[in-house]
Amino acid sequence: MDFSADSFWADADRHLIRYAGRADFTREIIARAEGSFVFTEDGRKILDFTSGQMSAILGHSHPEIVATVRRQAATLDHLFSGMLSRPVVDLARRLAETLPSPLEKVLLLTTGAESNEAAMRMAKLVTGGHEIVSFARSWHGMTQAAAGATYSAGRKGYGPASPGNFALPVPGADWRQELDFGFEMIDAQSVGALAACIVEPILSSGGVIEPPLGYLAALHEKCRERGMLLILDEAQTGLCRTGTWYAFERDGIVPDILTLSKTLGAGLPLAAVVTSAEIEAAAHERGYLFFTTHVSDPLPAAVGNTVLDVLLRDRLEDQARELGTVLRQGLLAISDNHDVVTDVRGRGLLVGLELISDDIGQRVTRRCLELGLHMNIVQLPGMGGVFRIAPALTASDDDIALGLSILDQAIGDVVKTHSNR
C-alpha cells in the first residue's frame, strides 16, 4: 500500500464527499493531537485555537478521558435503546445538579443537531404548534428541523424548509425596538401555531455576537405571551467556556428547554436535552418519541461524567474567565496595532476578532496555518471576516501567548503584502 502524502490526497480527492460548502479540506494530514496542539504526519506542530470543532474543552487526548474510554469500551459500550446503565443515570443526575430549578429531566443523545431536533420536536408536541423562531444568523444543525431554524448558511438549493420557520433580527444597539418589530412581523405571518424560539446565548457561527443584557429576559417574556417555549442552544457556550457553567446565567433567566452538545463530550459525540419535569410529563403523556440508535449509550455518558469530574475539580469556569481576560487583552493590543481589526467581542474563552474584509480574513487564516496556528473564520454577508477564537479551557498562559504572537505576525504579514500589491 502506498502511504505517501500524494497517494493520501489522491484517495481523499477521489473518494470523499466534500461537506463544507465551497471550503476545501485543510491540506495537512493530522497524525495525532495532545493538549492544545495537533501534529501533522510530516512533523508540524499546530496550535489549535478552535478546540477542534469548538468542542475539545479539555484539550486533545486528555489522560482522564482516554482512561475512561478504554475502561468503558472494555466493559459496556452500547445497548438496546430501551435499556439503562449507571453512567447514563449518573450523568443525568449530575447535569441536573449543575442547573437551576426546574431543569432536571435529561435526554442523552449524540450531536448538537440531534439535541436541537429533539428539543423542537418536544416543544411542538407539548404546545400543539409547529412554528419555530430563531435568529437571522443562527446555526442549529443540518438535520431537518435544525436546518430549518438555521439562517447563517446552507438554506439555498435544497427545496422547501420545514414549514413555519421565522427569522428574528440579531439584536443590536436598539434591541428593544428590534425585538418588538421582529415579533410584530412574526405575529403577522404566524398561522397561530407558534411552538418555540430557539437561540444561542452567544451566536457563534453568526460572528460571536452576544445579545445585550436584558435581551434574553425580554425574549423569554415574548415567548410566554404567545404560549411558546424558549429553547437555549448552548452547544458551544455551555460547561464553563464563557466563565460560568452556562452562558444564560448572566441573564438571570431559566430556559424551558436547554440543549448541550459539543462541550459536553469534550470532543466525543455526546449531547443532551434538559427540561422541567412538567414539560417532560406533558410530552410523555402525548407519546413523545425520539428513539434513536445511540440514545442513552453508556460509553459517551461515561465520558460526560469524566468531563464533569474535571470541570468541577479544576474549577475550569474560573480558568476560562481568567484566561479569557488574558486573551481579550492580547486581542485588544493586536487591534491597536492593526487598523484592519474592527472589533473584539465575546466572553470567557469564546472570543470574536472582526477584520475589515473577508478577503483579508482568508489571507490571515492561511498565514496563521503556515506559522503554526489553526484559526476559524466566519464569513457572512454584511460582515467582514470574524475569527471564532475558542482555545481549550486547559490551555496554558504560554499557549495563549503563542497564539496571540502568531496572529499578530500573520495580520502584519498580510497587511504588508496587501499594501505592496
Q: Would you call 256 helix, strand, or coil by DSSP?
A: coil
Residue 366 neighbours by CB distance under 10 Å: 15
- 139 is an active site residue: yes
Give the amino acid at 344. Answer: V
Q: Of 48, 131, 200, 234, which is the active-site residue?
A: 200
- 233 is an active site residue: yes
Q: Of 210, 256, 388, 399, which is the active-site residue?
A: 388
Q: Does the N-terminal peptide bond of residue 102 adopt cis geometry, omega within 30 degrees of 0?
A: yes
Q: Of 139, 251, 280, 363, which is the active-site residue?
A: 139
Q: Of 137, 222, 241, 262, which is the active-site residue?
A: 262
Q: Of 48, 210, 233, 354, which is the active-site residue?
A: 233
- 262 is an active site residue: yes
Contact by Cβ (8 Å): 381, 339: no
Residues facing residue 30 across a β-bridge: 40
Residues facing residue 32 across a β-bridge: 39
Distances 251 to 144, 276, 317, 337 between C-alpha atoms, Å: 30, 19, 17, 34
d(CA 273, CA 67): 26
Residues facing residue 39 across a β-bridge: 32, 45
- 156 is an active site residue: no
d(CA 302, CA 298): 6
- 236 is an active site residue: yes
Q: Of 222, 236, 241, 399, which is the active-site residue?
A: 236
Pairing verdict, β 194-199 and 131-135? parallel
Dihedral, 320, 322, 325, 330 alpha carbons, nearest 10: -90
Active site residues: 139, 200, 233, 236, 262, 388
